Amino acid sequence: MSTPTFPQPNVALSSAELNHAPKPLRLAVLISGSGRTLKNLLLRIAAGRLDAEVRLVVSSTPEAGGLQFAREAEVPWVVFSRKDFASQDDYSRAVFDRCRAAEAETVVLAGFLKQLTIPADFENRVVNIHPALVPAFCGQGFYGHHVHQAVLDYGAKLSGCTVHFVDNQYDHGPVILQKAVPVLDDDTPETLAARVFEAETEAYPEALQLIACRRVQVDGRRVRIAPPVSPSLSGRT
């Protein structure tokens, strides 16, 4: 399979368009595979379209292709293999201890395939993107190709992606935002996956920018998005 490519982001938007955060959001990005979501975030940051900095990349395997993007961007990275830990809790503790050491404010799951136990101090600070419109086609066993095949088998007319906070159940935390895409009559799992991923490249940075701007408020299961701050009141020009 060829390495995925991305269009270069446009020039940096004005503060009025982007609603700049007062300071960059410190991220730890967790990967297991190609790292195409990590690459997309790094491109957005470099282009001034996402007020964030990747402080750390954590991989569940030393073979993850995405580690190359961390090396190229000179981002510190570490590998934690699940087999090296006696339990999920021990594994999770190692991952989040390293995230704390990196002073990460938000942990981004970017194709990370190992289940984690979310500690209390990271409640509503871990985000994930799921390649369907939660609560449809989600939960244990629904990942990658399996999601898109299930959408086609059901005959759904819409699919898409969901950015949500992560709790200790699969694809269950409060939804931050969703983007829908059509399901076409001649779709295969591969063509639908490509269309959904195109939506993901917009949705994930958009959600992280909202978090960076402190516009995301969690009220039980509901996520409320505060209106943007006027540039004249934000303290930045």
Question: For residues 225 and 230, what is the distance between their CA atoms, to the nearest angstrom?
Answer: 15
Give the three-state DSSP class for 160. Answer: strand
Q: In the annotation, is 130 catalytic? A: yes
Name the amino acid, one letter, at 172: H
Residue 221, classified by CB atoms within 10 Å of its CB into exposed (0-12), middle (13-18) or buried (19+), is: exposed
Q: Which of 232, 228, 193, 200 is nearest to 212 (CA)?
A: 228
The DSSP secondary-structure symbol of 122 reads G
- E strands, 84-125, in order: 106-109
- Which residue among the candidates 130, 145, 148, 164 is catalytic per the annotation? 130
Name the token pair of 223: 């996520």
As annotated, the active-site residues are 130
